[in-house]
């Protein structure tokens, strides 16, 4: 029995990291934050086969698993990559697969990079303010806030009963308005539906839950990558920054801060690997593992983001260093598809620990 990555998985992550190292430097992230256009990045990811990662080979995809997708998500988070992933690459193809929908043509367009799918399911996880979607037959009415991977060609939408729908971007009665968040490396939007025609994919809450499980693991993996980068930057800065004629890395307090970050973060990698494996191979464990991974990485990510910024001192708050892109991305991941408190309560209910 192997308790590590296969050679193919290591090569996959290495190839994605090499591409991102070359094509997504910090200056490219800054440019996206001012003018959100990721076409060049998406084209490169498409050439690597990333859009078809979870799509069967019969539909033009690569036919890999959720663990492989989690490795890609980690690499994307490490580089705060400003491009679509969660909806198009993970949640939409899995929702179609779990629902048993006959959508080979759509899947082929997704795999080729021609079609992107946004995701608006967060209000079915936890309703906020006046948001929420109701359905009457095949028509949707209401509002979805913080829809991810927007704008897109299609949207994966969940109503208040956790029924999943596919909505075309040009459907009558649908409006998409940009809704900026603290994370300037992602595009989010507010979707408003006014008797908007939609295609029902599934009315089974289990399909919704499995799709959200996968999304949570990917957000946790993204946080792992972002936090690892912040730790690496803090260590490198501590080696170079001098105070009292010696590097601050020689000070015991700074050593302890870096050691604490490393000790908290390293076990998370195995946790993400197991969560991805469970999504693929252990359905009876997948939901609980996804909840634990999402909640734990949210807390560890917060610790690393805070501590790495402190190691940088005043420089940590400057745009010159750019730590805030990773800091805010980790904060965004923490809240989406369930904050740690909500997800831990869900895990407790799954284990029968609360009424």
Is residue 57 very low, low, confident or very high in pLDDT (cuts 50, 70, 90)? very high
Q: How far is CA 210 from CA 43, 202, 285, 291, 311, in A?
A: 29, 12, 11, 11, 39
Torsion of CA 269, 272, 277, 278, to 10 degrees: 140
- Return the closest-CA partner of residue 225 out of 340, 73, 82, 334: 73
| pLDDT for the residue numbered 2 | 63
Q: What pTM did the predictor assign?
A: 0.96
DSSP label of 250: G
d(CA 316, CA 339): 25
The overall average pLDDT reported for the chain is 94
Read off the pLDDT of each residue in 15-24 and give the average, rounded to a whole number: 97
CA distance from start to end of the chain = 38
Number of residues written out for the chain: 355
243: part of which helix (H) or strand (E)? Answer: strand 242-243
- Return the closest-CA partner of residue 273 out of 1, 2, 41, 5: 5
| pLDDT for the residue numbered 1 | 46
**Stretch among 10-14, 121-125, 212-216 having the lowest mean pLDDT:** 121-125
Cis peptide before 51 (omega within 30 of 0): no
The pLDDT > 70 percentage for the chain reads: 99
**Domains of the chain (ranges plus CATH)?**
7-111 (1.10.540.10), 117-203 (2.40.110.10), 206-350 (1.20.140.10)
Read off the pLDDT of each residue in 57-72 and give the average, rounded to a whole number: 95
């Amino acid at each position: 029995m192997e308790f590590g990555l296969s050679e193919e998985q290591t090569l996959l992550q290495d190839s994605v990291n090499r591409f991102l190292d070359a094509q997504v430097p910090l200056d490219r992230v800054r440019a996206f934050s001012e003018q959100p256009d990721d076409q060049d990045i998406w084209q490169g990811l498409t050439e690597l086969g990333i859009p078809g990662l979870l799509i069967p080979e019969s539909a033009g995809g690569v036919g890999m698993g959720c663990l492989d997708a989690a490795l890609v998500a980690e690499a994307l988070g490490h580089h705060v990559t400003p491009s679509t992933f969660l909806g198009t690459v993970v949640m939409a193809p899995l929702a179609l697969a779990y629902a048993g929908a006959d959508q080979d043509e759509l899947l082929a367009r997704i795999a080729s990079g021609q079609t992107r799918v946004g995701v608006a399911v967060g209000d079915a996880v936890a309703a906020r303010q006046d948001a929420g979607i109701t359905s009457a037959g095949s028509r949707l009415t209401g509002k979805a806030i913080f829809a991810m991977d927007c704008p897109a060609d299609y949207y994966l939408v969940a109503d208040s009963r956790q029924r999943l729908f596919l909505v075309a971007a040009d459907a009558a009665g649908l409006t998409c308005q940009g809704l900026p968040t603290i994370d300037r490396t992602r595009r989010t939007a507010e979707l408003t539906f006014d008797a908007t025609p939609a295609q029902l994919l599934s009315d089974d809450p289990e399909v919704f839950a499995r799709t959200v499980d996968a999304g949570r693991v990917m957000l946790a993996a993204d946080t792992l990558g972002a936090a690892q980068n912040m730790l690496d930057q803090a260590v490198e800065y501590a080696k170079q920054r001098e105070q009292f004629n010696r590097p601050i890395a020689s000070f015991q307090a700074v050593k302890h801060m870096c050691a604490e970050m490393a000790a908290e973060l390293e076990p998370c990698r195995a946790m993400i690997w197991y969560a991805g494996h469970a999504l693929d191979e252990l359905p009876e464990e997948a939901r609980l593992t996804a909840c634990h991974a999402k909640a734990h990485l949210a807390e560890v990510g917060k610790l690393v983001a805070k501590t790495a910024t402190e190691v940088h001192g005043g420089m940590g708050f400057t745009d010159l260093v750019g730590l805030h892109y990773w800091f805010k991305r980790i904060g965004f991941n923490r809240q989406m598809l369930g904050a740690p408190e909500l997800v831990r309560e869900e895990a407790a209910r799954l284990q029968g620990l609360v009424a």
